[in-house]
Copies of this chain bind each other. A is one copy, B any other.
Amino acid sequence: MKKNLLVAQSGGPTAAINATLAGAIREAGMHEEIDQVIGACYGIQGVLQEKFINLSELVDTEEKLHKLSVTPAAALGSCRFKLNDIAEDDSQYRQIVEIFHKHNIGYFVYIGGNDSMDTVAKLSKYCADNGIDDIQVVGGPKTIDNDLMGIDHCPGFGSAAKYIAAVFAELEQEMCVYDTKSVIVVEMMGRHAGWLTAAAVLADLPNADVPYLIYLEERPFSIEKFLSDLRAKLEENDVVMIAVSEGVHDENGTFICESVSSSKGLDVFGHAQLSGTGKILENAIRDQIGCKVRSIELNLLQRCASHILSATDIEESGRLGANAVRLAVEKKSGLMSSLRRVSNDPYQVVYEGVDIQMVANAEKKVPQEWINEEGNGVTQECIDYLLPLVQGELTCEFKNGVPDYLMLK
C-alpha cells in the first residue's frame, strides 16, 4: 500500500533549505511506494496541529521546483520546539504517531539543524522502541553554521559563505577608496563554531594586498592581543579587514559581548542571545588606537541572501533532500541524509546516511589545526576545504526587477 511522505522544516532559515525540500518532492515522484507529498507548516509544532498542505499539488512542475529551490528562508515555515523527554512524558509521540496513521504518512523527512536532529532522534527511537515499523523518520541536514556532525559540510553554509566572501570583497574595495588609515570589523553569526567567520578568508584570495585578521570562537579571545595584532598590521598597511565570530570569548568562556552587557536572555534551547561583539571591538579600536573604524553586524542578511547563492550548495542541498527520501523508502529510519567528500581535486562527494544519534545535539567546530598559530587567521587546509563550497553563481528569480519567490503557506 502506498504511503504519503511528510516533509517539514525547522530551526533558523537558510538560503538552501527549500532546495532540500524541492529535492525531496522531486525524488518522491520517482518512488511508487509514495502517494502524496504532504508539507507540515511550522515544523513539528505544525505536525502536532495538523497544519498540512499538499505539496504534490502545489509544486507540480519542474519550473516550480526550481523556483522553490532558489526561494530563501523556509517556505513551509519553521519552529523552535523541543519534544518532551520520552521517559517523562510520551504523549506528544503518541499523538504524532496517531496523526501519521490518520493521514497515511509512512515517511517523514525533517529538515533542520542540531536541535531538529534531536527531534528526529527522539521520534525514530520512540517508533523503534514501540515496534512502530510503518513510519520511517529521516533527517535532512541544514544550517548556515556548518556545525553538524556526521556530514562534510551543511546545506546552506556554502551560500552563506559565498555571501560573506562577496561582502568582504566589496567592503575591501570600499575601505581602499580613501588614502587614510582605516579598519572595518565585521561580525558573523555562529554561536559555537567559527565556520562562517572563516569564510571571510575567501575574499582575500584574488588580491592579497589588504591584510585580514580573522578571529574564530574556537580560540580564546583577548582584546589586548587583538589590539596588538591590529597595531602591528596598521604599521605597514592603510587598511585592515577584521572578521570576528559573534561568539568569541575569553579563556574563562565569557563572551566578549557579555563582558560589557549581560542583559541578554536565553532562547528556548538555552542558547545565549549574542550580539554586539563587533561594536565592542569598534569602540576599543577608536579608544585605544584612534584610527577611522566602523563595525558591521551581518545579522540576518547572511542567512537568506538568495540573490547570491552558491550553485554547488543549491545542487547538493537538493540531492540531500532526494537522498533523504531514498533512505526513508529503504526503511532506514533514524538516519540523517549526509554527504562525504571523497576528493577535493576534482571536488567530489558521495551521498549516504549517518546514524542520527551521532548528529543530534553535537557540534562540529573548526579544527584547531586549521587556525594559525597567532589565532588570527586560517590555514591553507581550511581554504582548501571552503573553496569548493562556494563555486558557481546562482540567484533567486526576479520579476520586474525584484526577487520573486514561490510562496507555499
- Which A residues lie at the B interface, using CB under 8 A? 9, 13, 42, 45-46, 71-74, 77-80, 162, 165-167, 169-171, 173-174, 176-179, 184, 202-203, 205-207, 294, 296-297, 299-301, 303-308, 310, 387, 390-393, 395, 398-405, 407
Contacts and interface: CB of A to CB of B under 8 A. Distances in A.
Pairs of residues from A and B, 10 with the lowest C-beta to C-beta distance, nearest first: A73-B173, A390-B401, A169-B403, A78-B177, A391-B401, A170-B304, A74-B177, A307-B308, A166-B307, A42-B179
Copies of this chain held together in the complex: 2
A81 to B, nearest CB: 10
A133 to B, nearest CB: 32
| Residue among A176, A294, A391 with the highest chain B CB neighbour number at 10 A | A176
Nearest to A205: B402
A72 B170 contact: yes
Contacts of A71: 173
Nearest to A78: B177
A45 B179 contact: yes
Contacts of A297: 296-297
Nearest to A12: B177
B299 A176 contact: no
Contact of A78 (B178, B303, B405): B178
Contacts of A9: 177
Contact of A304 (B173, B202, B402): B173
Contact of A170 (B177, B403, B404): B403
Contacts of A73: 170, 173-174, 176-177
B179 A13 contact: no
A203 B176 CA distance: 31
Nearest to A404: B206
A9 B179 CA distance: 13
A392 B402 CA distance: 9
A390 B402 contact: yes
A74 to B, nearest CB: 5
8 contacts: A9-B177, A77-B178, A78-B177, A166-B402, A173-B405, A174-B300, A387-B400, A390-B402
Contacts of A294: 299-300
Contacts of A401: 162, 165, 202, 310, 387, 390-393
A202 B303 CA distance: 21
Given A307-B308, A407-B207, A77 B171 contact: no
A123 to B, nearest CB: 20
A392 B399 CA distance: 9
A402 B171 contact: no
Given A170-B305, A395-B395, 4 more contacts: A167-B301, A206-B405, A297-B297, A308-B395
Nearest to A9: B177
Contacts of A165: 401-403
Given A170-B73, A170-B305, A300-B174, A179 B79 contact: yes
